[in-house]
Amino acid sequence: MFYKVLQIVKKEVINNKYFIITFSNSDMADQCHPGQFFRLKNQQQNFPILPRPFSVYNIQDGKISFLIKIIGESTKNLFETKIGENISLHGPLGNGFKLVKNKKVLIVSGGIGYAPLNFLCDELKKADNEITFFHGGKGSDDIFSKIIKIFTEDGSIGEKGLVTDRLEEFLSQNQIDIVYACGPKIMMKKIYELCKIHNIGLQVSLEAIMACGVGSCCGCTIKIFNENNEIIYKKVCKDGPVFDGYTVVWDE
């Protein structure tokens, strides 16, 4: 894990909701595993005080990129930064996805849930997996590259409807070994229900509002079923953000 202040080496604006910022540091890049995240903060920004968590989106040639959706003050501030500005990076943090080899894999993302799954997809491809990627968004603004099957709620691009609408049919017609998902909780709950019906393994990346990011403040706790089916508390930042979808308490 590193704590470093690095300059932005590249910035790409995708549209008025999303942008990508890139940093160069091969030591950091080498340590990153899909599903892990960094806490980022603009050194010039006084408020909000706490850094914000962002998943590793892409690793290439010693560079680390983050795909960021503009939500509030910190993300707006990061959007306004320029190449050469200093950003503090703390990470990689958390436990990422368990990778498989030579399997039939389905990846499902919703909105900004695409960010960690892009890096995951790259690593799974290197391990000779056969990958199908479903992605859903509200409209064409929420659609990124590398996507095989896309859905939008307003039908402005891809198929009209929710990303989960076609999953039932797809899972009935295709033999899938494992599903990886990240997106709104309601989407991941539906994916869990479908995986359960078809007896398929599921790994999900969860979000929580975070403070320390390293397991000290208990600000990001969620409920999980343990092996005795009892509810226990786990920290998204330290125990996750990736969890076995079968252990998550979806109904609350």
Find the shortest distance in angstroms from Cβ 213 to ligand FAD. Answer: 9
Among 12, 73, 80, 128, binds ligand FAD (CB under 6 A): 73
Binds 147: which of ligand FAD, ligand FES, none (CB < 5-8 Å by kind): none
In terms of CB distance, is 50 or 100 closer to ligand FAD? Answer: 50
Binds 48: which of ligand FAD, ligand FES, none (CB < 5-8 Å by kind): ligand FAD
Residue among 111, 177, 107 nearest 138 (CA): 111
Angle formed at CA 83 by CA 109 and CA 210, multiple of 5 degrees: 45
In terms of CB distance, is 50 or 100 closer to ligand FES? Answer: 50
Angle formed at CA 72 by CA 71 and CA 73, multiple of 5 degrees: 145
Find the shortest distance in angstroms from Cβ 36 to ligand FAD. Answer: 9
By the rule CB under 6 A, 54 interacts with ligand FAD? yes
Q: Rounded CA gap, 104 and 178, in Å?
A: 7
Residues that bind ligand FES (CB under 6 A): 210-213, 215-220, 235, 237
Q: Is 192 helix (H, G, I), strand (E, B) or coil?
A: helix
Cβ-based neighbour number of residue 160 at 10 Å: 12
Cβ-based neighbour number of residue 102 at 10 Å: 9
Residue among 4, 83, 94, 96 nearest 41 (CA): 4
Find the shortest distance in angstroms from Cβ 39 to ligand FES. Answer: 9
> In the complex, which residues of this chain contact ligand FAD (CB under 6 A)?
37, 48, 52-55, 66-69, 71-75, 112, 115, 207-210, 241
